[in-house]
Structure 1
Amino acid sequence: MLIQKHVQDIKTDTGTMRTSVYRPVDDKHYPAVIFYSEIFQETTPITRSAQILAGHGFVVLVPEVFHELNPIGTVLAYDDEGKDKGNADKFTKPLEDHDSDTQAMLNFIKAQNYCTGQVGAMGVCIGGHLAFRAALNPEITAAFCLYPTDIHSNTLPCKVGNDSLAMSHTIQCPITLVFGKQDPHVSAEGRALIHQTLSQNNNDFCWHEVNAQHAFMRDEGDRYDAALAMQMYALSVAFFQQHLRT
């Protein structure tokens, strides 16, 4: 399926958020997926992931997740300087501001005549956490979370008691979570805590642990696992086709 791209500056409670929109070129209506990036924002691997999803018949939005903290258009490099800046941003922006960003994108999606109104969330690394966090919003129909960080540890800034795991009992939509067993950012104990909490909540969730490192989806660097990445793309597409096309 051929796709197109345009750039949209979306107004949020905390400023303008540049957002890339990828969608099929025809005039049909498609469900949307908000794709949350890593701390580095929209790098070329993130762009390629968004294009893969869009090519399967989705409108894919890629927001600048730290738009308040950087000039518009900022993309951090996959090096120590970029990692340090991205992590600093991660521990500066409160989850409540991510919530208002998500709502602004939902409002934008509802106003577009090329969207069906069904919206899913997907992300990698902190983006996986933000996809999980987006599922707290009842307008999100499904969430696919790849190696989400900081859910188990409650290390992202937020109001007391408003961390993502504590609020997970309010999630109404199906969720898929994928973790790498060799991921140092989410320990076995951390994964067990997330699984136990979602089970106690009776959340509708699917769980995958694979033999992979953190960022195994990123097609740059020595942690990339192409075979597993293809499996995860197939899983995510099938997941969203099931839950966003009903």
Structure 2
Amino acid sequence: MLIRSDEKADIDTPTGTMRVHLFRPMRAGRFPAVLLFSEIYQVTAPIERLAAMIAGLGYLVAVPEVYHEYEAPGCVLAYDKPGTDRGNDLKYTKPIGQFDSDNIALIDWLRGHDACSGRFGAFGVCLGGHLAFRAALHPAIEATACFYATDLHTGTLGGERADGTLARAAEIRGELMMVWGRHDPHVPYEGRKQIRDALEAAAVALEWHEVDGQHAFLRDGAPRFDAALFLAGMTWTNTLFQRVFIAQS
């Protein structure tokens, strides 16, 4: 379906104003909202295209600028060494609780949006995979898709020795899908096993995929992009969201 991709909103959070990029179907209606969390580079062109694809499946997609406390609205970090260094530095600089308060503020704001049905999901890649997992701890989130989530097994998001994310897995009430590339150096086999064991122990409603891919295989235009895995990942995501938001409505 046709979508709108020209909307932005500056919303209040406990730690300042956060810009949110909105993508939604062109037709009138109220749609489940998907919080889409980016890589460390914020809202880049590949992230915009990813958000547009999900919106075209029938969702109001909200992409927050996760480093709003440190960068000006609209800041996009480049896919180069300075951009990577800055993005990695900020994911450890920003306290873990501020990522959570951003999620609460965004959900509360979306509840009042004319195109929001009042139902919520989450989606994320890389850093955003971890942030989507954290969003899944919120009781409003019914379905979450996490692609190659970083720092879950090390517990170092926010620069803390133990960010507590995995330890809180039992708080997840919705369905959770985890997708990994087997050749991802950021999350080796031992890390994936640690995450899987924690989710099994917490009895989370879990869908788990490991593919013969690398880190960031969804990022179109990059050397590690894998079109076949991109299509598979989007199919899994659509199936998850359709099952939760359509079949269970």
TM-score (norm 2): 0.96
Runs (5+) with no aligned partner, structure 1? none
Equivalenced residue count is: 246
Are the counterparts in 1 of residues 122 and 136 from structure 2 also a CA contact under 8 Å? yes
Are the counterparts in 1 of residues 143 and 175 from structure 2 also a CA contact under 8 Å? yes
Partner AA of 1:78 in structure 2: Y
Match of 1:16 in 2: 17
Match of 1:3 in 2: 3
Are the counterparts in 1 of residues 91 and 159 from structure 2 also a CA contact under 8 Å? no
Q: What are the Cα deviations for residues 156-184 of structure 1, in whole angstroms up to 9, with x where unaligned? A: 13778651101111111110000000000
Structure 1 runs, 4 residues or longer, greater than 2 Å off: 157-162
For residues 96-245 of structure 1, what are the structure 2 equivalents within 5 Å? 96-157=97-158, 163-245=164-246
Runs (5+) with no aligned partner, structure 2? none
Q: What are the Cα deviations for residues 176-212 of structure 1, in whole angstroms up to 9, with x where unaligned? A: 0000000000010000000011111111111000000
TM-score (norm 1): 0.97
Q: What are the Cα deviations for residues 15-44 of structure 1, in whole angstroms up to 9, with x where unaligned? A: 111010000111111111000000000000
Match of 2:52 in 1: 51
Q: By how many angstroms is 1:244 displaced?
A: 2.1
Q: By how many angstroms is 1:220 displaced?
A: 2.1
Match of 1:37 in 2: 38
Question: What is the alpha-carbon root mean square deviation over aligned residues?
Answer: 1.2
C-alpha distance in 2, partners of 1:46/1:118? 22
Q: What are the Cα deviations for residues 122-175 of structure 1, in whole angstroms up to 9, with x where unaligned? A: 000000000001011101111100000000001113778651101111111110
Partner AA of 1:98 in structure 2: F
Match of 1:28 in 2: 29
C-alpha distance in 1, partners of 2:180/2:121? 19
Match of 1:85 in 2: 86
Percent identity, please.
45
